[in-house]
Amino acid sequence: MTVIAASPTVGVPSFSRSLPPLLVLSLAMAIGFAMMGSFSTIQSAAKAEMGLSDYALSLVQGVSAAIPMVLLSIPIGLLVDRVHRVRLMIGLAAVWTLGTAMTAFAPDTTTLFIARILAAIGTTGALTAALSLGADLVVPAHRGRAALLTTLGKTLGTAAGFTATGWLIGWLAASDIALMGLTPWRSTHVVLAGLSLLLALPLLFLREPARHEVASGAARPALRVIAAELWTRRRFLLPLFAGQVAVVMADAAASIWAVPVLTRNHGLTPEQFAGWMGALILFTGIAGAVLGGIAADLGQKTGRRGGLLIGAVIAAAVSVPAALFPILPGVTGFAIALGVLMLGGTVTGLIMSVALTVLLPNELRGLCIGAFIAVAGLIGFGLAPTLVAAVSDLMGGEQYLAQALALVGVVVSAGSVACFYLAMRRAPVSAVAEPI
């Protein structure tokens, strides 16, 4: 196998010089995830105006996000590995902006559904491109902090999708402002589309970095070459993917069923837990990104094989007892354990992203990131919540939801520890080293 650019430090600027383009990528991801999540806050207003059923709303909210993840993540990942990534990101930013604008003017459910699909396509595709670009802007030893910035942008954007949209619709309604004669929730999306267009402009000034650590002799290797390279790395990739998919299963099940457990088992109403739940999501997203970035870079400095994944093994192990949060007796314990579980998921997710950019050759990174997004969307979000419901039924009914959620969480979290440890033992020495 021919190795190109075996030295990852040649031609790569220092981290401080790479910080401006990394911040541009972080800003772009914040915008994308804000546009993707903007509909959640105003869905009740849209439901009332358009006469949507709960079933239709579930399609607009859930299926519209799942379709891009499952069907398009791998094709977009292949594009990331083979085309000009900055131009691809600009195109994807245009797609999510178009989806946001279409949301404002959607006359029916079908158009609204397509609009939300476009917002999700642009955002999830851009995440793959941003991770690939960020990896080539820094040396491998600094890729943890590069991924940290991208993840922070995603976290802040997700939070902004709730807060900024809520503030906008409230201000427009109170001020009796109807942009182009539209209702407040539609006017809100007109403003958001304009902001997206404006804030995405820095992407136009971003330069495409050189691709480093390319293990194939071709600039755009044939699919059969890529498939062969993936096959030679299967002993490392399979447990790595399985470990993170297990983490996503635990997190997805928790995000879906935590609220029903709070209402049924602890007798809380939404207004009693919405505030601290939102703060918990924001805090664990930021703290997890910081801890994951630091852990990934420190793990590399150990010099041991697979050292980059040490933090993932530890975070996954801590998540095992934290998965018992549904059956803890008090709300305080529930909140702390849930926060630890969410924190662990963010840490392992960031470390896995870094591992794919440090331990895989350049031509495989976008494909593998896209493939993970697709598999995690299908299994993590598609299977885990249903699995909890099925286990609850086997235990005796809906009154056993908390116990079922705890059981599924502990089992899959324990599985993630074993998988991450196996991946660490089988990790390649470097991105361009021959797999062992």
298-349 pLDDT, tens digit each: 998 888 888 999 999 999 999 999 999 999 988 999 999 999 999 999 999 9
3-state secondary structure of 170: helix
d(C-alpha 371, C-alpha 145), whole Å? 23
Average pLDDT over residues 176-189: 85
- What domains does the chain contain, in order, with CATH numbers? 15-203 (1.20.1250.20), 223-425 (1.20.1250.20)
User: Does residue 250 register a pLDDT over 70?
Assistant: yes
Residue 30 falls in which region: left (phi positive, over 0), alpha (psi -120 to 50) or beta = alpha
How crowded is the C-beta side of 100, counted as CA atoms within 13 Å?
Answer: 29
Task: Give residue 436's pLDDT band: very low, low, confident or very high (50, 70, 90).
Answer: low
Task: Give residue 6's pLDDT band: very low, low, confident or very high (50, 70, 90).
Answer: very low
The pLDDT of residue 174 is 83
Task: Give residue 166's pLDDT band: very low, low, confident or very high (50, 70, 90).
Answer: confident
214 - beta bridge partners? 4
Average pLDDT over residues 282-295: 89
Out of 33-42, 84-93, 363-372, give the one with best mean pLDDT: 84-93
Task: Give residue 274's pLDDT band: very low, low, confident or very high (50, 70, 90).
Answer: low
How high does pLDDT run on average in the chain? 86
User: Does residue 219 register a pLDDT over 60?
Assistant: no
3-state secondary structure of 316: helix
How crowded is the C-beta side of 338, counted as CA atoms within 13 Å?
Answer: 28
Least confident of 103-107, 202-206, 230-234: 230-234
d(C-alpha 269, C-alpha 282), whole Å? 21
Task: Give residue 382's pLDDT band: very low, low, confident or very high (50, 70, 90).
Answer: low
Closest to 210 measured CA to CA, from 290, 138, 302: 138
d(C-alpha 221, C-alpha 219), whole Å? 6
d(C-alpha 71, C-alpha 28), whole Å? 23
DSSP state of 4: B
The answer to whether 29 and 130 have CB atoms below 8 angstroms apart is yes
d(C-alpha 139, C-alpha 145), whole Å? 11
Task: Give residue 202's pLDDT band: very low, low, confident or very high (50, 70, 90).
Answer: very high
d(C-alpha 209, C-alpha 207), whole Å? 6
422 backbone dihedrals φ, ψ, rounded to 5°: -65, -40
Tell me the whole-structure pTM to 2 decimals: 0.74
Q: Please classify residue 395 by burial: count the beta carbons closer than 10 Å to its beta carbon, then call 0-12 exposed, 13-18 middle and 19+ buried.
A: middle
The answer to whether 143 and 16 have CB atoms below 8 angstroms apart is no
